[in-house]
Copies of this chain bind each other. A is one copy, B any other.
Amino acid sequence: MKKSKDIDEMIQQLFAGNRRAASRLITRVENETEDHHEIMKKIYPRTGQATIVGITGSGGAGKSTLTDHLIQKFREQGKTVGVIVVDPSSPFSGGALLGDRIRLQRHFLDDGVYIRSLASRGCLGGLSSATYNVIRILEAMGMDIIIVETLGAGQDEIDIIHIANTCILVATPGMGDDIQAMKAGIMEIADIIALNKSDLEGANRSLRQLQTALSVASLEEGQWAPRVIPTVSIGSRPEDLKGIDELASAITEHQEYLHTTRSIDKVKFERVEEELGLVFKDELQRLIFKGLRGTGKKRKYINSIIEGKNDPYSVVEEILNTYLIRKKKK
């Protein structure tokens, strides 16, 4: 454990925008070192002001290339940009997929950009409290915009709604049946849909399908109407690209919508609510399993249940009564 003085110094450097301090603090928070609570407590008051943009979609849809162009646009507007790429690691094989993150490297020399890969929780599914904490660190570092890129598979893409102010779903032509599935849920989280690779065959049909799906969604008075923007994110010449300006403008418009309607308050509330729930769960599990670990008690309990002599509910009651008791009301 680092001395508290060292941590304080790192945090001061972070507040000054120091990338090295950010990297070191992120590593501590990601690894949940003993002092990570202390770190988070100290940086929280300096957070909550950044624009958080979520980008989700299937593998190969072009999230990274779109992110790359968005960084460029925001930099042209004089804004600093933090990027968090949540990489799903196989729950069995381990190891994050690097894929085409490589192209983001061109921003590595720009002091106004900070990019970091994070592993998702794998087996447990969903974004970890570490992801939420790393976003806070990038906010404390002074980043104006934070892009969180998640693979649109399973829980991560649903969790993103709890963090991002603006959610972009990256779709591609010819998704066919997927449109049906999307209607059921995913589309309801997207503020903006980028129909990427819109130069491919079938793009017009997909565009119409998406627009139809969106048009039948019932909106309340004054509610943001999700929109589809056809994009092309890969091309050897700049004129091959398409829709990047429109996408960046749509993000700005959605932010303006959030602020003029005060919907931003709800977004912020939900984000903190989610964080609070995660910290709770982590903390409680830590407390309980600290009491069980290493003693062989857990194995004994499990075997007694298998043998039909006990059941999980009685075991949990017993452990709670042994390790925790509720204080009486004064």
Contact = CB atoms under 8 A, between A and B. Distances in A.
Interface of A: 37, 40-41, 44-48, 59-60, 90-93, 97, 123, 125-126, 153-155, 158, 177, 181, 184-185, 188-189, 268-269, 272-273, 275-276, 278-281, 283-285, 287-288, 298, 301-303, 305-306, 308-317, 319-320, 322-327
Nearest to A299: B269
B276 A92 contact: no
B281 A311 contact: no
Task: Count the copies.
Answer: 2
Contacts of A280: 285, 288, 316, 319
Given A185-B90, A316-B279, A44 B284 contact: no
Contact of A326 (B125, B189, B323): B323
A277 B278 CA distance: 16
Contact of A41 (B269, B285, B311): B311
Contact of A306 (B46, B91, B268): B268
B181 A154 contact: no
Given A41-B314, A276-B305, A324-B327, A125 B158 contact: yes
A217 B197 CA distance: 34
Given A91-B158, A155-B125, A184-B93, A48 B311 contact: no
Contact of A327 (B126, B281, B323): B323
Contacts of A126: 125, 155
Contacts of A312: 40, 44, 272, 275-276, 278-279
